[in-house]
Structure 1
Amino acid sequence: MSTSIRSQVIPVSDLDAAKVVYTALLGEPHTDQPYYVGYNVGGFEVALAPGDASGGPVAYVDVDDLDGTRQTLLDAGATERDAPKQVAPEARVCVLLDKDGNAIGLRGK
């Protein structure tokens, strides 16, 4: 299994307010949409997404086989927080939780 962590998605309750803060820190975003604001930080994606901020940021591990990796983690005791969903033509994501409730994001095909 080939894995790498290349992105972090930060859920925010007020996208416009968060964008001001993160743009001051990281510079202009490469993507600025009502559903996603993305910054490239030395090849690492830092993104803001509107949503429930109580779960905190999620680091996404890029995997070759999202379904297979997801099942391996579920079999190892992880639980599902967010089922797999298509976010781009070649990318799906899901979020699992470890035994302590820490989020594990997966991104793959």
Structure 2
Amino acid sequence: MPIRTITVPVKNLDAAKALYTKLLGTEPYADAPYYVGFRPESGPELGLDPHGDVAAGPVVFWHVDDIKAEVDSLLAAGATEEHAIRDVGGPLIATLRDPDGNRLGLYQAPTT
């Protein structure tokens, strides 16, 4: 279960896009009003989310094959659900909290 995506909540999407374009040295591969995504040559994908909780900070997403099974397994192990599984234009995502309140995300790629 590798960490492949980190989503950063932002207040000003245009300003954040300019800064992260410069920092990462690459243009975004996805550029929409609801998400801007970067795929740098090394490291995980970095996404900017203008609808995220800025106070809560970034969310690290583990990519999984079966998000429902993974959510069920983590809930049984003591996690709590923050946001239920939802479709975000093909991929499925969910966010949970560990027993200490830390956020963690799960991402399932769209089926082909």
Is TM > 0.5 for Structure 1 vs Structure 2?
yes
For normalisation by structure 2, the TM-score amounts to: 0.88
- Report 1:1-109 matches (<5 A): 3-26=1-24, 27-42=26-41, 44-51=44-51, 52-89=53-90, 91-108=91-108
* Higher strand proportion (structure 1 or 2): 1
How high is the sequence identity, in percent, across the aligned residues?
44
Give unpaired runs (5+ residues) of structure 2. Answer: none
Structure 1 ranges of 4+ moved more than 3 A: none
Secondary structure, counterpart of 1:82 in structure 2: strand
Secondary structure, counterpart of 1:88 in structure 2: coil
Question: Cα RMSD between the aligned structures?
Answer: 1.3
Secondary structure, counterpart of 2:27 in structure 1: coil
For normalisation by structure 1, the TM-score amounts to: 0.90
Secondary structure, counterpart of 1:41 in structure 2: coil
Q: Report the alpha carbon displacement of residue 24 of structure 1 after superposing the two structures with TM.
A: 1.2
